[in-house]
Amino acid sequence: MLQDRQVIALGERDGISGTAIAACAKAAGAEVAFMATECFV
């Protein structure tokens, strides 16, 4: 579904982390262009 797509994975410290989103995107065939886990307060 995400084959040959680039993704920006922005996660939240208290929610889903950027690394988890990036892992799901990679499993779906995407290339992760940027990944970060931030604290949005």
Amino acid identity of residue 1, one-letter, is M
Residue in 9, 19, 22, 14 with CA at minimum distance from that of residue 39: 14
> 41 to each of 7, 9, 14, 19, 23, how far by Cα in Å?
24, 18, 10, 20, 25
Whether the predicted pLDDT of 1 surpasses 90 = no
The model's pTM is 0.86
d(C-alpha 40, C-alpha 25), whole Å: 22
The tens digit of pLDDT for each residue in 4-32 reads: 999 999 999 999 999 999 999 999 999 99
> In the prediction, which pLDDT does 10 show?
95
Q: Pick the more confident residue, 41 or 22.
A: 22
Q: Is the pLDDT of residue 40 over 80?
A: no
Residue 41 predicted with pLDDT over 80: no
